[in-house]
C-alpha cells in the first residue's frame, strides 16, 4: 500500500505540471498563468475538489502516444466563491494548446451535469486552440456534447466564460452559448479561426488583436461582455458578477446587508435634465444616484453605448438596470443597442432579477443602413423580451419616450407592472419638427407667414406632448414622481412586487426574432 500511495502521489504531482516546466515557463513568458494558478485566484482557498486529474487520451496515431499528459489539457472540479458552490473548468494551454479532446469533453460535461443537478453555476476558464486536430471527428463530436449541455443549462444555472488565451473554434462557440464572456486585455483572443487560416482562405492580413482581441469583441462585435486588464482582475470580476446572481433559476438573487439609506434623496436629480431637450446629460448619473451606492456593475459597457445595461442593488436586493444613454447618439435604439437590451432583459428574466428601465430615447434609428441591416428584426427583440419577461418590471420615463421606442422600452403594454415618469418626460409618436412637417405641410405651404405659423404649431405640440401629463391622464403612466424621490419609489415598489406571480401561456417556446 505504501508503494501504491507513493505512486499515486507521484502521478498527481506530475499532473500538476501539465505539459511540463518549459511549457509553464512559456505560458508565464506570455503573461499568462497556468490553469491551476488561475483556479487558485478564482476559488476560496482550499475549496477546490478536482475530478479526472489522471485522465488521458487513448490515441496513438499522429505521434500522440508520446503526447499523453494526465488531465489531458483541462482541470475540472468544484469549489467555492465567497462561500457559494461553483463548478469550474480551466483549460491548460501547456498541454497540446489546451485543444479540446474527447477526454476533455467527458470531464467538462461531467461537472456540467452535476452542476445542473445540484443547481450551481459553471465557470469556464478558456485557453484553447479549439477542437484537437489529431482526433478528427471525435473532437468535433466532443464539442457537440459540450454545446448541447451549454444549451440545456442555459437559463437553469448561470454560465460564465473567461477567455484567458488565444481561443479558437469551439473554444469561442461554447462561450457564445453561455451568459457572460469576460476577456483579458492583451492576452486573450477569440476567433472561429486564426490569422494564418484567414490569410490562406481570404487573403486578408490581420493580427491577433485586431481580429479577435478584447477591444474587437467588447467594442465592435459585442461577443464579449467585459474586458479585464489582467487575469487577476478577470477573476475578481467573476466573483463580483456572481454576487448578484442566484445559484440557479429556482432561487432568488442573494440580498446583501443594506448599506445605503433607502430614503436617501439626491436633490441634484431635480436639475439634471436640461431645459433644452436636445441637450444631452449622463444617464449614469441617474443610475449612480438612484441605486445603492457603488452597486452598478455595467455589462457590455463598451458596446452600443447608446444603451446602458447592468446589475445593481436597491436596498441590498439585486436588480437588472436597462437605460438609454442620451450621451451617445441621443440614446437612440439601433440594431446593436436593441440586441444588447433584449439579451440582458432575457437574462434577468431567466434568473429572477427584477428589471428597472430608465427611458430617454428619441426612437428607433432611421436610415437605410439600419433598415437594410434589419432594425425591424433586431428592434422587435426588445419588444419580445420585455413582453415575455415575468419578473417585476418598473419603468421610469426620464425624458424622451418617442414612437415605437416608447412602447418597446417597458411601456405598460409590455406587461410592465409600474410606469413612472419624471416631470421632464416627453411622450409622443415623434418629435415636434417631424410631426409638424407631416401634419401641417399643406397649411404651412399656403401660409402668408410660414415661419410664425410653424413656431405656433411647434409650441402647441410641445405644450401637449413635452410633459407626461396626458400619458398620466390616460393611465399610461401610473405616477409622475419627483426625480429626487426615485430611489425610494423604486424600493417601495419592489417591496410590493417581490411576491409577484405571473406566467406565460403554455408552449414549447416562442419564436423570438433573432
Cα 272 to chain centroid, rounded: 28
Residues 194-253 touching ligand HXC, rule: CB under 6 A, are 194, 197
Integer Rg of the chain from CA: 26
Rounded to a whole number of angstroms, the minimum distance from the CB of residue 174 to ligand HXC is 8
Binding mask 139-158 for ligand HXC (x = CB under 6 A): -x--x---------------
- Scanning 4-12, 193-201, 214-222, 355-363 for contacts with ligand HXC by CB under 6 A, the matching segment is 193-201
> Beta strands of 215-272 (E only): which ranges?
226-228
Instruction: Write the DSSP string, 441-500.
Output: HHHHHH-SSHHHHHHHHHHHHHHHHSSSHHHHHTTSSSEE--GGGHHHHHHHHHHHHTT-
> What's the min distance (Å) between Cβ of 96 and ligand HXC?
5
Binding of residue 414 to ligand HXC (CB under 6 A): no
168 near ligand HXC, rule: CB under 6 A: yes
Closer of 136 and 510 to ligand HXC (Cβ): 136
40-79 binders of ligand HXC (CB under 6 A): none
Give whichever of 12 and 28 is closer to ligand HXC, judged by the CB atom.
28
Stretch binding ligand HXC (CB under 6 A), from 58-66, 164-172, 334-342, 403-411: 164-172
- Residue 373 falls in the annotated catalytic set: no
Nearest Cα to Cα of residue 310 among 302, 322, 318, 293:
322
CA gap 89, 109 in Å, rounded:
10
Residue 170 appears among annotated catalytic residues:
yes
Per the CB < 8 A criterion, the answer to whether 237 and 224 are in contact is no
Ranges of beta strands (E only) in 267-367 are 297-299, 307-314, 317-324, 355-361
Stretch that binds ligand HXC, among 162-170, 246-254, 339-347, 386-394 (CB under 6 A): 162-170
Class of residue 282 by CB neighbours under 10 A (exposed 0-12, middle 13-18, buried 19+)? middle
Q: Tell me which of 18, 73, 170, 403 is the catalytic residue.
A: 170
In angstroms, give the least distance from the CB of 24 to ligand HXC: 13
Residues 93-132, mask of contacts with ligand HXC (x by CB under 6 A): ---xx-x-----------------------------xxxx
Taking the complex as a whole, how short is the minimal distance between the CB of residue 207 and ligand HXC, in angstroms? 11
133 binds ligand HXC (CB under 6 A): yes
Query: By rule CB under 6 A, what count of residues binds ligand HXC?
Result: 18
Decide: is 175 part of the binding site for ligand HXC (CB under 6 A): no
- Find where cell 505521434 sits: 63
Please enumerate in sequence order all residues whose Cβ is within 8 A of that of 489, keeping only pairs 6 or more positions apart, or say none. 420, 479, 481
β-bridge pairing 74-81 and 49-51:
antiparallel
Does 169 contact ligand HXC by CB under 6 A?
yes
301 is catalytic: no
Which of 150, 395 has the CB closer to ligand HXC?
A: 150
Binding mask 265-304 toward ligand HXC (x if CB under 6 A, else -) reads ----------------------------------------
Task: Kindly state the smallest distance separating residue 197's Cβ from ligand HXC, in Å.
Answer: 6
Helix (H, G, I), strand (E, B) or coil at 300: coil
Quick one: which of 233, 235, 234, 227 has its CA closest to 209? 227
Q: Which of residues 300-319 bind ligand HXC (CB under 6 A)?
A: none
Q: Please identify which of the residues 155, 316, 373, 404 carries the catalytic annotation.
A: 404
Beta strand pairing call for 418-421 and 180-184: unpaired
CB atoms within 10 A of CB 257: 5
Catalytic pick from 405, 421, 425, 471?
A: 405
Interface stretch with ligand HXC, choices 189-197, 285-293, 327-335, 406-414 (CB under 6 A): 189-197
Q: Hunting for cell 452597486 — which residue is that?
A: 295
Under the binding rule (CB under 6 A), the answer on residue 173 touching ligand HXC is yes
Min dist. Cβ of residue 75 to ligand HXC (A)? 17
**Strand, helix or coil for residue 206:** coil
The DSSP secondary structure of 21-51, one letter per residue, reads HHHHHHHHHTT---HHHHHHHHSPTT--EEE
φ, ψ dihedrals at 183, nearest 5°: -115, 145
| Chain residues in the site for ligand HXC (CB under 6 A) | 96-97, 99, 129-133, 140, 143, 166, 168-170, 173, 193-194, 197
Supply the residues annotated as catalytic: 169-170, 404-405
Amino acid at each position: 500500500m505504501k508503494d501504491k500511495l507513493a505512486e499515486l502521489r507521484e502521478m498527481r504531482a506530475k499532473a500538476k505540471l501539465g505539459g511540463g516546466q518549459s511549457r509553464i515557463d512559456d505560458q508565464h513568458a506570455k503573461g499568462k498563468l497556468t490553469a491551476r494558478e488561475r483556479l487558485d485566484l478564482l476559488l476560496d482557498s482550499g475549496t477546490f475538489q478536482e475530478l479526472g486529474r489522471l485522465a488521458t487520451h487513448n490515441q496513438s496515431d499522429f505521434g500522440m502516444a508520446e503526447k499523453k499528459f494526465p488531465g489531458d489539457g483541462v482541470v475540472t472540479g468544484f469549489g467555492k466563491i465567497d462561500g457559494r458552490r461553483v463548478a469550474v473548468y480551466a483549460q491548460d494551454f501547456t498541454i497540446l494548446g489546451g485543444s479540446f479532446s474527447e477526454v476533455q469533453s467527458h470531464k467538462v460535461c461531467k461537472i456540467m451535469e452535476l452542476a445542473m443537478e445540484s443547481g450551481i453555476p459553471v465557470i469556464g476558464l478558456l485557453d484553447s486552440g479549439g477542437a484537437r486536430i489529431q482526433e478528427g471527428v471525435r473532437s468535433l463530436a466532443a464539442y457537440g456534447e459540450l454545446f448541447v449541455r451549454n444549451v440545456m443549462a442555459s437559463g437553469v444555472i448561470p454560465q460564465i466564460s473567461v477567455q484567458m488565451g488565444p481561443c479558437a473554434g469551439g473554444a469561442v462557440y461554447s462561450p457564445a452559448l453561455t451568459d457572460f464572456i469576460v476577456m483579458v486585455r492583451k492576452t486573450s483572443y477569440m476567433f472561429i479561426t486564426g490569422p494564418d487560416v484567414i490569410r490562406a482562405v481570404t487573403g486578408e492580413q490581420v493580427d491577433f488583436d485586431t481580429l479577435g482581441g478584447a477591444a474587437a469583441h467588447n467594442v465592435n462585435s459585442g461577443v464579449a461582455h467585459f474586458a479585464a486588464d489582467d487575469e487577476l482582475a478577470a477573476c475578481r470580476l467573476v466573483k463580483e458578477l456572481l454576487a448578484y446572481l442566484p445559484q440557479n433559476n429556482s432561487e432568488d438573487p442573494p440580498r446583501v446587508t443594506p448599506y445605503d439609506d433607502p430614503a436617501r434623496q439626491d436633490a441634484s436629480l431635480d436639475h439634471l435634465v436640461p431645459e433644452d431637450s436636445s441637450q444631452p446629460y449622463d444617464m449614469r448619473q441617474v443610475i449612480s444616484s438612484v441605486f445603492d451606492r457603488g452597486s452598478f456593475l455595467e455589462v457590455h459597457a463598451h458596446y452600443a453605448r447608446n444603451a446602458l445595461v447592468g446589475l445593481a442593488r436597491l436596498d441590498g436586493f439585486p436588480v437588472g438596470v436597462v437605460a438609454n444613454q442620451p450621451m451617445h447618439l441621443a440614446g437612440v435604439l439601433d440594431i446593436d443597442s436593441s440586441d444588447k437590451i433584449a439579451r440582458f432583459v432575457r437574462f434577468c428574466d431567466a434568473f429572477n432579477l427584477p428589471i428597472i428601465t430608465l427611458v430617454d430615447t428619441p426612437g428607433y434609428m432611421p436610415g437605410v443602413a439600419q433598415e437594410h441591416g434589419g432594425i425591424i428584426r433586431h428592434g422587435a427583440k426588445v419588444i419580445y423580451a420585455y413582453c415575455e419577461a415575468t419578473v417585476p418590471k418598473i419603468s421610469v420615463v426620464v425624458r424622451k419616450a418617442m414612437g415605437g421606442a416608447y412602447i418597446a422600452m417597458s411601456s405598460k403594454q409590455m406587461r410592465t407592472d409600474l410606469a413612472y415618469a419624471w416631470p421632464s418626460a416627453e411622450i409622443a409618436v415623434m418629435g415636434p419638427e417631424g410631426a409638424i412637417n407631416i401634419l401641417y405641410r399643406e397649411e404651412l405651404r399656403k401660409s402668408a407667414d410660414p415661419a410664425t405659423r410653424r413656431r405656433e404649431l411647434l409650441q402647441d405640440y410641445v405644450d401637449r406632448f413635452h410633459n407626461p401629463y396626458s400619458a398620466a391622464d390616460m393611465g399610461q403612466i401610473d405616477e409622475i414622481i419627483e426625480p429626487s424621490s426615485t430611489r425610494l419609489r423604486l424600493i417601495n415598489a419592489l417591496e410590493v412586487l417581490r411576491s409577484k406571480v405571473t406566467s406565460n401561456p403554455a408552449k414549447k417556446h416562442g419564436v423570438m426574432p433573432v
